[in-house]
Amino acid sequence: MTQFHVPTDPATFVPDRFAGQVMLVTGGGGGMGLACATRAAREGAAVVLADINEEAATAAAAEISGAGGQALGIGADITSRDDCTRMVESVVEAYGGLDVAINNAGVMDGGRDGQPAPLHLANDTYIRGTIEINVLGTMYACAAELSRMVEQQRGGAIVNVGSHTALTGSVGTPAYVASKHAISGLTRAIAMDYAPHGVRCNSVNMCATDTPMLERAMEFVRSRHTEDKPDTPRATMKSSALIGRVSTVWEQAAVILFVASRDASYMTGALVASDGGWTAY
């Protein structure tokens, strides 16, 4: 592995890049969300970690606070518009405003014991769960965040976490692919509507990243191979990205936080591929 393919050091950060800013991270209880919140706190942000697992969110926030950062963990179900409104109200109550929102919460399998499958075999648990969380949940979160940003009249930055499947197709997981394509369209629509308010909105689209969600997905794919079902995604699935390994949450956090930062001041409506070259071929 060359030095240019070595994963980002988890200890890396840019001092004071988010000093004086308030950041909300959905799905902040673990994985990429926690990595984003941890690094952003090191860079001076006051961070609120929202997660449907309130215990995980509060534990993660305590860890960040224990390391000297400003952090608050709260429970929130983004599929509830009222919960999203309360989520943003909690941010404002704690830190006085909202400058950056990273909408990371999402699922690949429906989140409720769903089973990804080609569409004619997919059950409603998988289809509805995936669409409700990834599409409606992200829309409700964005709506609450934008309402506050417009009211503040000082602009802001929103980053929606997408997927390489937002930029291309993928076998065996149609609702997930559809949901992430929806995030691409939503991101561009928000960028257009809210540029006059000084709000930037972009998405970051990663390939396989070392998270619990990826492990669940891989277990499912392995089970389909073992059972040798005829609908198993095999023949048309790529074997790897051009960078032949999965990414780390810290690599993705580095890209997400760059896009959220003032260093990316001329970026809006962009669908950023942080996918190891997956969508390049």
Q: Would you say residue 277 lies in a domain?
A: no
Assess whether 176 carries a catalytic annotation: yes
For residue 247, give the DSSP letter: B
Per-residue pLDDT at 234:
47
Task: Please give the structure tokens belonging to residue 153.
Answer: 């009249």
Q: Would you say residue 76 lies in a domain?
A: yes
Q: 146 pLDDT exceeds 60?
A: yes
87 vs 213, which has greater pLDDT? Answer: 87
Which pLDDT band, with edges at 50, 70 and 90, does 237 fall under?
A: low
pLDDT, tens digit, for every residue of 87-137? 999 999 999 999 999 999 999 887 656 678 899 999 999 999 999 999 999
Question: How is 192-219 classified by DSSP, letter by letter?
Answer: HHHGGGTEEEEEEEESSBSSHHHHHHHH
Q: Which residues pair with 71 in a beta bridge?
A: 47
Range of the domain at 233: 19-272
Q: Would you say residue 35 lies in a domain?
A: yes
Q: Would you say residue 74 lies in a domain?
A: yes
For residue 67, give the DSSP letter: T
Alpha helices of the chain — where are they, by DSSP H?
Answer: 31-42, 54-66, 81-95, 124-131, 138-152, 174-194, 212-227, 249-260
pLDDT, tens digit, for every residue of 251-274? 999 999 999 999 999 999 999 999
- From 95, 126, 140, 176, the catalytic residue: 176
Q: Would you say residue 114 lies in a domain?
A: yes
Instruction: Tell me the C-alpha to C-alpha distance, in Å, between residue 134 and each of 6, 110, 127, 128, 160.
Output: 31, 9, 11, 10, 10
Q: Would you say residue 14 lies in a domain?
A: no
For residues 141-166, give the mean pLDDT: 98
CB 163 within 8 A of CB 187: no
Q: 171 pLDDT exceeds 70?
A: yes
* Spatial strand order in the sheet of 271-274: 70-75, 46-51, 22-26, 100-103, 156-161, 199-206, 271-274
CB 211 within 8 A of CB 31: yes
Per-residue pLDDT at 244:
84
Q: 62 pLDDT exceeds 50?
A: yes
Q: Would you say residue 82 lies in a domain?
A: yes
Task: Please give the structure tokens belonging to residue 162.
Answer: 């997408």
Which pLDDT band, with edges at 50, 70 and 90, does 229 fall under?
A: low
Number of structural domains, the chain? 1
Comparing 164-173, 196-205, 220-229, 264-273, the range with the smallest average pLDDT is: 220-229
Q: Would you say residue 112 lies in a domain?
A: yes
Here the CATH number for the domain that contains residue 174 is 3.40.50.720
CB crowding 235-246: b at 16 or more within 10 Å, else e: eeeeeebebeeb
Radius of gyration of the chain (CA): 18
Which pLDDT band, with edges at 50, 70 and 90, does 215 fall under?
A: low
CB 240 within 8 A of CB 164: no
φ/ψ (deg, to 5) at 170: -155, 145
Q: 9 pLDDT exceeds 50?
A: yes
CB 132 within 8 A of CB 79: yes
* Cα separation, 216 vs 140, whole angstroms: 26
Residue 216 backbone class (left: φ over 0; alpha: ψ -120 to 50; beta: rest)? alpha
